[in-house]
Chains A and B, each alone.
Chain A
Amino acid sequence: MQEQIIFYAGFAVAAWLFVIGLYGIISSRHLVHLCLSLTVVQAATYVLLAVIGYRPGLPAPIFVGFPATSPAVDPVIQALMLTDVVVEATVIALLLSITVRVHRRTSSADPNEVDLMRG
């Protein structure tokens, strides 16, 4: 029963983070806020991956202190997640530097005011 609750609650949290992050993006009044909303959307993928890789009662796939052939949680998902966390940070840095350029050019950081098509 407890496993069922963790499983479905995980999916619900992932969906909630995705939708609330999207709301942050569409209602944003500042480009930095917009970038951070995007990280909230991406946090949904972490929760989703954690739930997919979850195996009730099994240990982490570090084979120290228990038999090397016994089952453990999914290592592929964990590998995906840890690279994703690091890479995402640099991608957000790229978006923030674009924000800096936009602010320099238009002296505004409000996505509603920034007219990106201006030559």
Chain B
Amino acid sequence: MSHAWRVTVFLAGAAGIAVLFALVCRTLPGPLPVRNRYAEAINSRVYAQRNVTDAVSAVNFDYRGFDTIGEEFILFVSVLGSISLLRITSERTEGLLADAAEPSRDVPASDAISLWVLVMIAPKVLFGIYIVTHGQLTPGGGFQGGVILASAALILYVGESFAVFRKVVSWRLVELAEAAGAGGFLLIGMIAWFWGKPFLTNVLPLGKTHELTSGGTMPLISLATGLEVMAGFVLLLFAFLQETLTVRGEE
């Protein structure tokens, strides 16, 4: 199909969407009367029922924990897919990679950048752990904290080089962390079976509100999710960097 013809078909479709959308918007009840009973039920109960202050994390890791398993495995499978697509198998490319990863072939980072990166990594990791562990108290949790932790690995590459990145980040260890995160979520869900309760029931002691240990299984699931998200993103970073450097090595 030619470009002009494709755009014409698109414009016809877009005009159709615009008309239907405008018609639908006219019948909307407006923001005030719309009430989500389910959301109100959670908001009014979460503090008394689960001893936590963050209703969003309670939805993610407790009330709708089963849906989060689905989300987490989308993440798991897409990371798995990316890695298998980018996987480098032949010895030839391994050799090229070793050449490309030689520190001498990288543009050396200036001392100012290297120093700044080394200074920044510790607070970044600390902040990530803080966000992961305080999910049930303040905005945060495994998903957000995991991404912050993974970005610590990214700035290691930005400030130093891929050679340093490879030295510090162990592929095997990160792979293990991802498996532990994904499996840990399922195992925490299975704890409920010992009490004869359904999968993912919050059976652990709920602790005191405003404390780190409050929320029963919530902080544990948040931790497992954080591990999985962090490891998933670091693996992606690793695979893409390897691919880039292999291509550079071939040229």
Chain A residues packing against B (C-beta within 8 Å):
3-4, 6-8, 11-12, 15, 18-19, 22-23, 26-27, 52-56, 60-64, 68-69, 71-72, 74-79, 82-87, 89-91, 93-94, 96-98, 100-101, 112
As a 0/1 sequence over residues 1 to 31 of chain B, the CB contacts with chain A under 8 angstroms (1 = contact) are 0010011001000100110010001001011
State whether A97 and B32 are in contact (beta carbons under 8 Å apart), knowing that A11-B25, A75-B39, A75-B58 are contacts in the complex. no
**Which 5 residue pairs of A and B lie closest in terms of their CB atoms, listed nearest first?**
A68-B47, A61-B55, A75-B55, A79-B59, A74-B39
Interface of B is mostly: helix
Binds A, one of B105-113, B137-145, B155-163: B137-145
- 23 inter-chain pairs at a CB distance below 8 angstroms, sorted by A residue, are A3-B30, A4-B31, A15-B21, A19-B18, A26-B7, A62-B54, A63-B53, A64-B53, A68-B47, A69-B47, A72-B43, A72-B55, A75-B46, A75-B55, A79-B56, A79-B59, A82-B56, A83-B71, A85-B143, A90-B236, A97-B81, A97-B243, A101-B86
Residues A7 and B31 in contact, CB atoms below 8 Å apart? yes
In the complex, the chain B residue whose C-beta lies closest to that of A5 is B31
User: How far, in Å, is B60 (CB) from chain A's closest CB?
Assistant: 5
Min CB gap A32→B, angstroms = 12
B229 at the interface (CB under 8 A from A): yes
Q: CB distance A54 to B36 under 8 Å?
A: no
A60 and B53 alpha carbons, distance in the complex (Å): 11
Q: How far is the CB of A59 from chain B (nearest CB, A)?
A: 10
